Structure 1
Amino acid sequence: MDAKAVGQRIKTAREKKNMTQEDLAALVDISPTHVSVIERGSKIPRLDTFVAIANVLEVSADSLLVDVVDHATKSVASELSAAIEDLPHDEKMRILKAVSALVEK
């Protein structure tokens, strides 16, 4: 498992919620140092801690584990959809063409 990638996704989700490591730690009932260690990928959290983090950050577990879980592709599609949802139509079409070209290779 790529603990650094998972930790980075946790950090990104935390920052999107405008939370500090201290905020997350308090809500998950772990130390801020433990949050830091998890986000750096130095340690993998216990399952109950991981679930608590996902719940507090309001993200799915598979979105945090997208490069680890083979069946997390729905999460990838969902993230792509969310990323382009508010773009103008011509930008969406440009992205669709680029993705189509990449898939055809």
Structure 2
Amino acid sequence: MKMTSIGQHIRQYRLERNMRQEDLAEKTGLSVNYVGMVERGEKIPALETFITILNALGITADVVLCDVLDNGYTIKNSILNDKLQGLSKAEQNKIYEVIDTLIKHSNK
């Protein structure tokens, strides 16, 4: 199981919120070293700590766990759909054309 992706997603969402590790540590009551270890995949937080981190970042567990859940692609599709909604119709069409091309040339 690819548990390191949990920390990578936590880091990704922390950076998207323009937070430093120090900011997240302060907001959660965790040490900066511990936050760094979680982000590097060296530690998997206990459930209570995980929930504290998610609440501090304002995110849900599914977006952090999408790479380790069996139905993670459903979650990724939803995230991708949300990102597409912010684009113009022309930009959306370009992306859909690329996706269609990739599907046509994929190993079936």
TM-score higher than 0.5 here? yes
Please report the TM-score for the alignment, with normalisation by the length of structure 2.
Answer: 0.85
Higher mean alpha-carbon deviation, 63-72 vs 13-22, is at 63-72
Kindly provide the amino acid, as one letter, of the partner of residue 56 in structure 1: A
Equivalent residue number for residue 100 of structure 1:
100
Q: How does 1:81-92 map to 2 (within 5 A)?
A: 81-92=81-92
Deviation at 1:68, TM superposition (A): 0.7
Equivalent residue number for residue 77 of structure 2:
77
Give the aligned CA root-mean-square deviation in angstroms: 1.6
Consecutive unaligned residues in structure 1, runs of 5 or more: none
> Are the equivalent residues in 2 in contact too, given 1:3–1:42 (CA < 8 A)?
no
Deviation at 1:103, TM superposition (A): 4.1
Equivalent residue number for residue 42 of structure 1:
42
Equivalent residue number for residue 23 of structure 1:
23
Please report the TM-score for the alignment, with normalisation by the length of structure 1.
Answer: 0.87
Kindly provide the amino acid, as one letter, of the partner of residue 9 in structure 2: R
Kindly provide the amino acid, as one letter, of the partner of residue 81 in structure 2: S
> Are the equivalent residues in 2 in contact too, given 1:7–1:40 (CA < 8 A)?
yes
Higher mean alpha-carbon deviation, 38-47 vs 74-83, is at 74-83
Q: 1:51 and 2:51 equivalent?
A: yes
Consecutive unaligned residues in structure 2, runs of 5 or more: none
Deviation at 1:12, TM superposition (A): 0.7
Among all aligned residue pairs of Structure 1 and Structure 2, give the percentage whose two residues are the same amino acid: 36
